[in-house]
Structure 1
Amino acid sequence: MKSVLLSTALVALSVLSANAQDSAASVELGLGVSVDPSFPGADDQQASPWLIWRNVQLGGGTTPGDAQGFSFSPSFNTIGERDPDDDADLAGLDQIDRAYEIGGQVNYGFGPVTAYGSLRKGFGGHEGLVGSIGAKYRTEVNDRFTLWSGLALGYGDDEYTQTYFGVSPSEATASGYSEYSPGGGFNTAIAKLEARYALTDSTALLGEVEYGRLIGDAADSPIVQDRDQPSVRLGIVRKFSFGF
């Protein structure tokens, strides 16, 4: 899947090259660490790499996250593997490999508010469609420090929800859990705080604190250990510009 991510990045840069004639294009790339539930519905946390790819801009652009009107940005995510050997409560359930989700996000900015909707296709651990809709409010603390506070709803289709929250007949027999076949739909309510501190014009520190609450069919799954799903992320990004 690393090759898939690399190929996607190269395609994105090719699109920038093809559409940004006589202008400039830029993208922010970075790396950090993310502390999330060890699997969807888990009651413990684990640390994993945070791959950051955001603020794709054509033309002169604006302050990161400050675009007005409609804009488009890439969206991707990873979900760690679920290994029954790591948790006695998962005994008898199928192992789920690490999943990679790749897609896009449509944004609409009006003043300090940005509304957005994202959609991603899963590969590896699940092959469903996932996404979110939400809005966030920007607060400029000073010239270098910016905060965004927001609310969102997370979505997963039938295939995604069945993968992480369902219990098949064979799993029910092996695990002792009741058979469960959840449907797709909104599965998470999210409150989020994002922070950005500009070290230089091209480099910034990012931080995110997120509180997610499982809802709908996902929340009713017998394998959910905790409906509360908090996460924390910290990373650094650098802006890469391309002139055409």
Structure 2
Amino acid sequence: MPFRYLAFFILVCVASPARAQWFIPGDPEDWNAQIGLGAAVRPDFPGAASLVASPVPYFDITYKKQFFLNTGRGLGTFLYGDKNGRLKYMLGASIGPSFDTRGSKDVPGLPKVGVTASGQAFGEIFFDRWSVELTVHKDMIGKGHEGLRADLGLNYTQRIDGKRGLLRVGPQVQFGSGDFMDSFFSVTSEQSPAANLPTFNAKAGAARLGGQAFLSYPIAEHWNVVSAATYYRLVNDAADSPVTRDKNQLSLFLALAYRF
């Protein structure tokens, strides 16, 4: 993991709500946080057959139930929320790093797709423990895939041990814009000789089908085990691309977090 992420993790820990009277303005009761450190295993790049493992900081911090900083969405805010009987609605926006990447040596002859800043707009409709969620990701600075990715999912959410723990699980489909698909799955006529791959033009559309599960489970008064698993199968042009080496994509995450 790059040093800047470790440094950021250390800074978040030092400025935790437990020390709010020195570092964070406002009433400490307005803050809710979990902070920890874990490890992740994920495909080396979209369509890769190999997996890479790395340490990953875990943080989930909210202020007045409106502003948040967390590992999944980055830094953002809930813009709108309402309730109509058993239906609830929520809209939000955030910005954070995108880890849909590919190194210059992963597929020799094809360009690198780097880490970039991803702007996200998301909305969710809840009905009891079920919800439908849509998140749209946009490369904000053109250093990565330079496109749009949309995730549409159906979620089942269950609170554990009061509100100290959480289970969230459900199926998901991911869509990619033309630029997103080109970045990971296309091979141009200029790239073909160097990559030793046939030319291929990946079109916009559904790219991955699968599901994900998230569990935050309390094991002591202030400690939670946090885990996540994601499985996707590449479909359509993402599956047919000569860049793809394995259509099955699995990611795992496990962390120990302190709850303030």
5+ residue gaps, structure 1: 10-19, 61-66
Alignment RMSD (CA, Å):
3.5
Match of 2:47 among 24, 41, 52: 41
Q: Is the 8 A contact 2:93 2:120 kept in 1?
A: no
- Classify the secondary structure of the residue corresponding to 2:99: strand
Residue 214 of structure 1 and its aligned partner are, at CA, apart by: 0.5
TM-score normalised per structure 1:
0.73
Matched, 1:204 2:204: no
Higher relative contact order (CA 8 A, sep 6+): 1
Give the ranges of 4+ consecutive aligned residues of structure 1 lying more than 6 Å apart after TM superposition.
Answer: none
Provide the residue aligned with 2:248 in structure 1: 228
Provide the residue aligned with 2:22 in structure 1: none
Provide the residue aligned with 2:185 in structure 1: 165
Q: Is the 8 A contact 2:215 2:226 kept in 1?
A: yes
Provide the residue aligned with 2:205 in structure 1: 185
- Classify the secondary structure of the residue corresponding to 1:169: coil
- Classify the secondary structure of the residue corresponding to 1:79: coil
Counterpart-to-counterpart distance in 1, 2:93 and 2:145: 23
Match of 1:115 among 112, 121, 132: 132
Q: Is the 8 A contact 2:93 2:119 kept in 1?
A: no
Match of 2:150 among 108, 116, 131: 131
Provide the residue aligned with 1:214 in structure 2: 234
Q: Is the 8 A contact 1:165 1:224 kept in 2?
A: yes
Q: In 2 relative to 1, CA 75–99 (structure 1 residues): closer, same or farther, beyond 3 Å?
A: closer
Q: In 2 relative to 1, CA 112–52 (structure 1 residues): closer, same or farther, beyond 3 Å?
A: same
- Classify the secondary structure of the residue corresponding to 1:188: strand
- Classify the secondary structure of the residue corresponding to 2:252: strand
Counterpart-to-counterpart distance in 2, 1:93 and 1:163: 9
Q: Is the 8 A contact 1:55 1:73 kept in 2?
A: no
Counterpart-to-counterpart distance in 1, 2:36 and 2:149: 23
Higher mean displacement: 94-103 or 218-227: 94-103
| Paired amino acid for 1:153 | V
| Paired amino acid for 2:174 | G
The CA deviation string for residues 176-233 of structure 1, in whole angstroms up to 9 with x for no partner, is 2111111112211022222111356765332111111111211110110000001101
Provide the residue aligned with 2:18 in structure 1: none
Q: How many residues align?
A: 218
Q: Is the 8 A contact 1:96 1:125 kept in 2?
A: yes
Percent identity between the two aligned chains: 22
Match of 1:156 among 168, 171, 176: 176
Residue 83 of structure 1 and its aligned partner are, at CA, apart by: 2.6
Q: In 2 relative to 1, CA 57–133 (structure 1 residues): closer, same or farther, beyond 3 Å?
A: farther
Counterpart-to-counterpart distance in 1, 2:208 and 2:171: 11
Residue 109 of structure 1 and its aligned partner are, at CA, apart by: 1.6
Q: In 2 relative to 1, CA 127–203 (structure 1 residues): closer, same or farther, beyond 3 Å?
A: farther
Provide the residue aligned with 2:121 in structure 1: 104
Counterpart-to-counterpart distance in 2, 1:229 and 1:156: 16
Residue 115 of structure 1 and its aligned partner are, at CA, apart by: 1.4
Q: Is the 8 A contact 1:81 1:99 kept in 2?
A: no
